[in-house]
Homo-oligomer: A and B are copies of this chain.
């Protein structure tokens, strides 16, 4: 029995992976469900916003010239010839010089009017009249047609992950449905005779599977539509049957290495292609991935930190790309100063957990001492991760490093 024949550098593995992963085909969703989805094509305005000259204040719609030289001391009297409220059609006559139409914010300006005289700039007049006590120029308190969006304008570019306000703009331009990248369906195969389902009390030689919970939450964060979790014994036939089932992306945890009980790599090689097996990284050295048809299948070590780490480096970027999102790590990053030297052999990528403490305007990063691949609590005690890449032999105390924060991911 021997170890991995070759360990593939992280960058090479990622390149081989992403070369074969593309966004899923688009689907159409109602605009009410478009927020946070990724636009598959650009969206153009079907109508201008506003599509009529719109009053921006409560008051009187007038021809601006009717108010010329009006003031507190020399008010000008206007005939109130009608009223128009937001959402209602004006059914009165043309607004001529000397006329005024009561209007509320959001209503369409009646024909002949070109300005709104704020209610605050009027005094009551005789029956059927109002007094303008100030002059208003044409266009005052009127939003012209297209002030917000012109008809035909691009309101959304392809590839945009819709922010809350994007969904609002799309609806406002009369678009009812948006073509968005389909969200990936994920299957997670948890292998291991020793594993109990989350919620159980560990007993005898059995422990609770935590990887399914961690991966489920990560997949949801990264835009998965559905995440199905299947628990399997260390049985190659059971793993093969489960690995054949359709999905957009499959994760397999446990049995990813080269021992006799490590069935997943052999099963994947038989069903499709084992593209990478063994990566020059720590933790997660025994990770791998391949494809069954176009579908990526990830072999994640069962040790929980390795599992988390292999997801972060490979499965996560692939999942996000399938859903049209950025492959970049979604964790917020901050620069921090290392408080202790860390060593890492040339040619290996290390995933270092650190605690952050504020230091003036910046941060200090303290490497977490308990850093074994099986110590999941090291990732809950830590505030983030530092990547020591393969070209580096580590960092000296005081070096500035980039920390991906566990607490803030988008």
Using a CB–CB distance below 8 Å, which chain A residues touch chain B? 1-3, 30-32, 35-36, 46-47, 49-52, 54, 56, 58, 84-90, 104-108, 119-120, 143, 147-149, 155-156, 161, 163-169, 171-172, 174, 176-177, 192-195, 198-202, 204-211, 213-218, 220-221, 234, 257, 259-261, 302, 304, 308, 332, 370, 372, 374-377, 379-380, 406-410
User: What separation, in Å, do the CA atoms of A105 and B301 have in the docked complex?
Assistant: 11
Interface residue from B214, B259, B370 paired with A168 (Cβ < 8 Å): B214
Contact B208–A174 (Cβ < 8 Å): yes
Interface residue from B147, B166, B205 paired with A86 (Cβ < 8 Å): B205
Residues of B within 8 A of A36 (CB): 217
User: What separation, in Å, do the CA atoms of A200 and B32 have in the docked complex?
Assistant: 11
Contact B372–A168 (Cβ < 8 Å): no
A147 nearest in chain B by CB position: B375
Q: Given A1-B120, A377-B169, check contact A174 B201 (CB 8 Å).
A: yes
Contact A87–B210 (Cβ < 8 Å): no
Residues of B within 8 A of A408 (CB): 332, 410
User: Oligomeric state, in number of copies?
Assistant: 2
Contact B120–A192 (Cβ < 8 Å): no
- Min CB gap A153→B, angstroms: 8
Q: Given A374-B56, A380-B163, check contact A168 B202 (CB 8 Å).
A: no
Contact B221–A164 (Cβ < 8 Å): yes
Interface residue from B208, B215, B406 paired with A172 (Cβ < 8 Å): B208
User: What separation, in Å, do the CA atoms of A217 and B105 have in the docked complex?
Assistant: 26
- Min CB gap A71→B, angstroms: 18
Residues of B within 8 A of A215 (CB): 164
Q: Given A58-B261, A87-B192, check contact A380 B165 (CB 8 Å).
A: yes
User: What separation, in Å, do the CA atoms of A87 and B90 have in the docked complex?
Assistant: 78
Contact A165–B104 (Cβ < 8 Å): no
Residues of B within 8 A of A376 (CB): 49, 148, 165, 168-169, 172
Contact B85–A167 (Cβ < 8 Å): no
Top 8 closest A-B pairs, CB basis? A87-B194, A87-B193, A168-B210, A164-B217, A35-B217, A171-B198, A86-B194, A176-B199
Contact A205–B87 (Cβ < 8 Å): yes
